[in-house]
Amino acid sequence: MARSRGSYYSALKRINKVANSAFGLRKTCNSIARSTARAMQANGCRIMSLNSQKEYLITVGTYGLSDLYLKKGPLAARRSLPEILQGKAVFIADATTDEKVQHPEIALAQGISSILGVPILRKGEAIGEIRVYTRERHEFSEADKSFLFSVADMCAVIFERAELHQLVERDYKADMRRRRMPEVVPTPATTLRTTAFAHPSEEDFARLLDFYCIEWLYEPRSFPLRWDRDKIAEMFTPDFYLPELDIYVELTTLKQSLITEKNRKLRQLRELYPEVDIRLLTKSDFLKLLAKYGYGPLGGAKVEGIDRVLYSHAQIQRRVRTLARRISRDYAGQRLVLIGILKGVVCFMADLMQHLDLPVTVDFMAISYYGGDGQVVKITRDLDSSITGQHVLMIEDIVDTGMTLNYVLGHLNAHGPESLRVCTLLDKRARRLIRVPLDYVGFEVPDEFVVGYGLDYRGEYRNLPFIGILEPEIIEG
Ligand code: 5GP
């Protein structure tokens, strides 16, 4: 695996160009990770930023890594290759046996052998880390290390610029708040095992996030909401922060009628901190979320009738033809791989592909759902063919919280497709928790549990030719 100086030179040129582009931090870092891995002929690369307290590493850019490897909890900085924090490069020949590796079982499952990591340094102090991964056991040369250090230097400049940008914005906003905002103190990263939750539903939610390999921190930050002279008179501490997605989530188990006060606080928080993305999950949202997986008080209902039809067979067919026309136009002259997740997508996929005026191939995946045997989501059926370098269109039946799609997109992206877009028949936008890109949407549906045209309730109703809403007593028990 000898690399020429030329390939490193052109990679650095490419990286320089991206570093100077107008892309946001994540897009810039993803692109740098891709150029770095390709130049080093490595299978994956990950760029991480250290939080200000130097407690945990947050992934800001990746290439070629499976979602599972990326999201198995925040990496505790002091346990994860601590030499890097001291400014040294670290080489691991076999990640499956080396005790320095925090998740060797995942390295094994993902077929990762060797890792080379170097610190991202500012004024001699580690502010992040860049790692490359290879599937084959591999010794890195001095030239490899020196290339990776150069990329790390570039990342330091990019991080600094992103921070500066944030600081300027924050200063401006602080000014707008009449310079009254005191310093907010983040508390350390937490895990399910060590966290004392205030309420059992929070633990249930943390378990669900763990299942989908979504990093979370419990009550990591308090936001002052009201001041009395120079003292904070009121604070608000959201229950969860999802660092990779930069979203706060507040769970409320109060009855709908009693959440006015909480809503007031959230409104105030959004006004004072417009850069903060916070979602409220009410008791009924949460119970519906659990019921979807057959859990909680709403989960044990019996299957019976349909309350009303939301979209008739004819309406669905018309919309599917329109979507197919748009997709055929957008991909004209290209080959397309359609990927669906079993089983809900079967009707939509079958109809859509018949109307596509393109050369297409079709592949399917299946994933485990929350409440099965596993602790984290698993791909129970993977793709038959490689999608590397292909134009891929992910076909979904319905996107609800976005957790499933977020996981699957991470998995597909790790295989390096030429492009990856999403087409969903139904978009239950009102319940979205995680921002996921939707390129083609059939219908936006209300916050109700829908069945038919492939969609099931506990295994039944998939064969209905229309999309309908179940009788309320079925879902509400
Ligand atoms: P998400 O991960 O976006 O919350 O959920 C996506 C999955 O949940 C879908 O693929 C589907 O299996 C299921 N789901 C979400 N909402 C509904 C619904 O209204 N009806 C049915 N039958 N399944 C749903």
Q: Give the best-scoring range by mean pLDDT among 146-160, 341-355, 367-381, 444-458.
A: 341-355
Mean pLDDT estimate for the chain: 81
Which range has the worst mean pLDDT, 21-35, 128-142, 287-301, 458-472? 287-301
> Using CA positions, which residue lies closest to atom 11 of ligand 1?
398
Question: Higher confidence at residue 298 or residue 395?
Answer: 395
Is the pLDDT score of 71 beyond 90?
A: no
Is the pLDDT score of 179 beyond 50?
A: no
Backbone φ, ψ for residue 25 (5° rounding):
-60, -45
Q: CATH second-level architecture of 5-164? A: 2-Layer Sandwich (3.30)
- Residue 177 CA, chain-centre distance (Å), reads 32
Helices (H), 378-466: 403-413
> Which of 292, 342, 380, 394 should be mutated for ligand 1, with most atoms under 8 A from CB?
292
Q: By C-alpha distance, which of 466, 339, 357, 348 is closest to 415? A: 339
What is the predicted pLDDT for the residue at 185? Answer: 34
Cα dihedral 390, 391, 397, 399 in deg (nearest 10): 100
Question: CATH assignment of 313-476?
Answer: 3.40.50.2020
Spans of all domains in the chain: 5-164, 195-302, 313-476
Ligand 1 center to residue 399 CA distance, Å?
6
Question: Higher confidence at residue 236 or residue 296?
Answer: 236
Helices (H), 53-199: 67-71, 82-85, 104-109, 142-176
Helix or strand or coil: residue 33?
helix
Q: What b/e readout covers 88-120, taking b as 16+ CB neighbours within 10 angstroms?
A: ebbebeebbebeebebbebbeebebbbbbbbbb
Question: CATH assignment of 195-302?
Answer: 3.40.960
The whole-angstrom separation of Cα 236 and Cα 222 is: 6
The whole-angstrom separation of Cα 391 and Cα 399 is: 21
> Using CA positions, which residue lies closest to atom 23 of ligand 1?
455
Query: Which residues, including other chains, have CB under 8 Å from residue 130's CB and lie 6 or more apart?
Result: 33, 36, 45, 46, 47, 48, 117, 118, 120, 148, 151, 152, 155
> Using CA positions, which residue lies closest to atom 16 of ligand 1?
400
Question: Could you tell me if the CB of 154 is within 6 A of ligand 1?
Answer: no
Is the pLDDT score of 396 beyond 90?
A: yes
Q: Please state the pTM of the whole predicted model.
A: 0.53
- Residue 423 CA, chain-centre distance (Å), reads 18
Ligand 1 center to residue 467 CA distance, Å?
13
What is the predicted pLDDT for the residue at 398? Answer: 97
pLDDT confidence of 7, banded at 50, 70, 90?
confident
What is the predicted pLDDT for the residue at 347? Answer: 97
Is the pLDDT score of 201 beyond 70?
A: yes
